[in-house]
């Protein structure tokens, strides 16, 4: 990431440990993004007006925007009470996301890392709720000519084989999502959006499985080369 992310995250939970754990997980996926846990009260479980207020002030420091994720309904109420009393300048740069707490935090963090703006980061968080919905599995595309590159209707396509035994688990999925976000290209892997860490994880792709990577746009060739280097290098795990 060439510049600090312009959008921070505030994770409001009734549990201090849950907020800290979710923040730690999201930070692993998006290093450098400001992610602030605001969980619990001095007495234990619950939500703290003062802690949320302090976290929002820190999150929006220096002109940053902030997306807030909450774990339960009363956390939303406390956050809204904070926003009712906050400065108008801060309120204008804060959005509450109606999103799953952990998955939304991860998706939002990766989007912020990639340079997404406030509304796009909130949308990424809220879209996370639909990623694992439904019983149907994500499409898996078989490849017969691994490593081949084909030009297809304005884009390019390459077939690769995962070399690391664990495949596209959280860390390499986040690495790919961050990577493709830096190119002026739309990239899919086995039919899903490669800029979405949750979509990639949903594939359940493990070592030895074939991937069909397609890229469309001005940077399609460079994006394919970057994905190929990461996959063929086994994400440092092979």
Task: Please tell me the distance from the alpha carbon of residue 117 to that of residue 93, in angstroms, as a whole number.
Answer: 11
If you average pLDDT over residues 117-142, what whole number do you get?
70
Question: H helices then E strands: how many in the chain?
Answer: 9, 9
Residue 88 has what pLDDT?
93
pLDDT confidence band for 144 (50 / 70 / 90) = very low
If you average pLDDT over residues 33-45, what whole number do you get?
96
If you average pLDDT over residues 182-191, what whole number do you get?
92
The share of the chain scoring above pLDDT 90, in percent, equals 66
Residue 223 has what pLDDT?
93
Strand partners, 186: 216
Write down all domains in the chain, each with its CATH number in brackets: 7-131 (3.40.50.510), 149-236 (3.30.1340.10)
Check pLDDT > 60 for residue 132.
no
Task: Please tell me the distance from the alpha carbon of residue 203 to that of residue 166, in angstroms, as a whole number.
Answer: 12
Per-residue pLDDT reduced to its tens digit, 7-23: 999 999 999 999 999 99
Check pLDDT > 50 for residue 53.
yes
Per-residue pLDDT reduced to its tens digit, 103-129: 999 999 999 988 889 999 999 999 887
Residue 135 has what pLDDT?
35
If you average pLDDT over residues 141-150, what whole number do you get?
47
Phi, psi of 152 (to 5 degrees): -135, 110
Task: Please tell me the distance from the alpha carbon of residue 80 to that of residue 74, in angstroms, as a whole number.
Answer: 10
Burial track 86-123 (b if 16+ CB lie within 10 A, e otherwise): beeebeebbbbbebbbbbbbbbbbbbbbbbbebebbbb
Task: Please tell me the distance from the alpha carbon of residue 222 to that of residue 185, in angstroms, as a whole number.
Answer: 9
Residue 236 has what pLDDT?
84
Residue 146 has what pLDDT?
47
Side-chain-side CA neighbours of residue 22 (13 Å)? 29
pLDDT confidence band for 182 (50 / 70 / 90) = confident
Q: In the structure encoding, which two tokens stand for residue 48, read together?
A: 């703290």
Residue 133 has what pLDDT?
58
- The residue among 4, 9, 42 whose CA lies nearest residue 24 is 9
Higher-confidence position of 210 and 181: 210
pLDDT confidence band for 198 (50 / 70 / 90) = confident
Residues designated as active site? 14
With contact defined as beta carbons under 8 Å apart, do 5 and 31 qualify?
Answer: no
Q: In the structure encoding, which two tokens stand for residue 229, read together?
A: 């280097």
- DSSP letters spanning 30-97: STTS-EEEEEBBTTBSSB-HHHHHHHHHHHTGGG-EEEEEESSHHHHHHHHHHHHHS-HHHHTTEEEE
13: exposed, middle or buried (Cβ count in 10 Å: 0-12, 13-18, 19+): buried
pLDDT confidence band for 204 (50 / 70 / 90) = confident
Check pLDDT > 60 for residue 148.
no
Task: Please tell me the distance from the alpha carbon of residue 195 to that of residue 178, in angstroms, as a whole number.
Answer: 7
């Amino acid at each position: 990431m060439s510049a600090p992310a312009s959008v921070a995250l505030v994770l409001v939970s009734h549990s201090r440990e849950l907020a800290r754990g979710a923040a730690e997980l999201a930070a692993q996926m998006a290093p450098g993004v400001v992610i602030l846990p605001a969980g619990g009260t001095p007495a234990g479980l619950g939500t703290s007006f003062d802690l949320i207020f302090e976290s929002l002030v820190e999150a929006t420091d220096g002109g940053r925007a902030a997306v807030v994720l909450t774990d339960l309904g009363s956390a939303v109420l406390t956050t809204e009470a904070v926003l009712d009393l906050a400065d108008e300048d801060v309120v204008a740069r804060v959005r509450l996301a109606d999103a799953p707490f952990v998955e939304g935090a991860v998706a939002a963090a990766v989007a912020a890392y990639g340079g997404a703006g406030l509304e796009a980061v909130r949308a990424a968080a809220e879209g996370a709720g639909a990623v694992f919905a439904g019983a149907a599995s994500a499409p898996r595309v078989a490849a017969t000519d691994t490593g081949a590159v084909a030009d297809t209707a304005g884009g390019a396509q390459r077939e690769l084989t995962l070399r690391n035994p664990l495949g596209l688990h959280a860390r390499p999925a986040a690495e790919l999502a961050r990577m493709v976000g830096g190119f002026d290209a739309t990239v899919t892997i086995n039919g899903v959006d490669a800029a979405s860490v949750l979509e990639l994880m949903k594939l359940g792709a493990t070592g030895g499985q074939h991937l069909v990577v397609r890229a469309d746009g001005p940077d399609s060739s460079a994006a394919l080369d970057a994905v190929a280097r990461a996959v063929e290098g086994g994400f440092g795990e092979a």
